[in-house]
């Protein structure tokens, strides 16, 4: 049976089979959470929301300005509030910020209200994808590689802890990663408009 036919059969057999109200992407900066998430949301008929953009809209300030004025701790409070607000709803494809897994309450919430996908990226891919970034506050320093390595050391176990599924994005474009993830999710998540 083709993948499309298999997915259609699943939809017809049990239209409300989704394992969670929302699909949540976690992973480090430069894993492609936003670019992959947008593509996947389209495919699964979910509303795409980027948690950082939500924080910026609610606060009326950029992430950089928030870090500058209230520090990382102030940003984390706003991030946690955004996650709680967004995950109370359903039908979202939520791209979280790289540090969202640091809070235990955030991880519990993601696990309770989402099917969580960890988009893994190695240091080389991260550096390449982030080379033109001038906005992420944690990266505006000369020792980026060291910063990313240290963040990964602390966070990698947390991404794995919260994840229902892991996708390695190394060597993949956003379109390729979204395609691959779409296939892996097809037997767990009902799709809208599966082609005949
Ligand atoms: C952060 C990642 C960023 C953003 C903020 C802090 C982090 O999001 O939330 O700059 O702590 O890793 P992205 O992972 O979308 O870049």
Domain chopping of the chain, boundaries: 18-190
From ligand 1's centre to the CA of 71, what distance in Å? Answer: 13
**pTM exceeds 0.85 for this model:** yes
Which protein residue has the closest C-alpha to ligand 1 atom 4?
97
Q: Is 33 in the pocket of ligand 1 (CB under 6 A)?
A: yes
- CATH dotted code for 18-190: 3.40.50.300
Name the residue at shortest CA distance from atom 9 of ligand 1.
Answer: 97
pLDDT in tens, the chain (196 residues): 565 555 444 443 344 568 899 999 999 999 999 999 999 998 899 999 999 999 999 999 999 999 999 999 999 999 999 999 999 999 999 999 999 999 999 999 999 999 999 999 999 999 999 999 999 999 999 999 999 999 999 999 999 999 999 999 999 999 999 999 999 998 887 765 444 3
Yes or no: say if 113 and 38 are a contact pair by the CB < 8 Å rule. Answer: no
């Amino acid at each position: 049976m083709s993948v499309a036919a298999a997915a259609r059969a699943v939809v017809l057999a049990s239209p409300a089979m989704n394992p969670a109200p929302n699909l949540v992407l976690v992973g480090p900066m430069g894993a492609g959470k936003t670019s992959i998430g947008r593509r996947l949301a389209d495919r699964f008929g979910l509303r795409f929301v980027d948690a950082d953009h939500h924080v910026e809209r609610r606060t009326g300030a950029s992430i950089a300005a928030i870090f500058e004025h209230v520090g990382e701790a102030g940003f984390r409070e706003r991030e946690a509030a955004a996650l709680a607000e967004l995950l109370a709803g359903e039908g979202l494809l939520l791209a979280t910020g790289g540090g969202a897994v640091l809070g235990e309450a955030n991880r519990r919430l993601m696990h309770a209200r989402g099917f969580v996908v960890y988009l893994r990226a190695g240091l080389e891919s991260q550096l390449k994808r982030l080379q033109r970034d001038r906005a992420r506050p944690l990266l505006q320093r000369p020792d980026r590689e060291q910063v990313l390595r240290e963040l990964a050391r602390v966070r990698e176990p947390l991404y794995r802890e919260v994840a229902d599924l892991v996708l390695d994005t190394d060597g993949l474009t956003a379109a390729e990663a979204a395609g691959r993830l779409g296939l892996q999710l097809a037997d767990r998540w009902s799709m809208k408009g599966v082609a005949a």
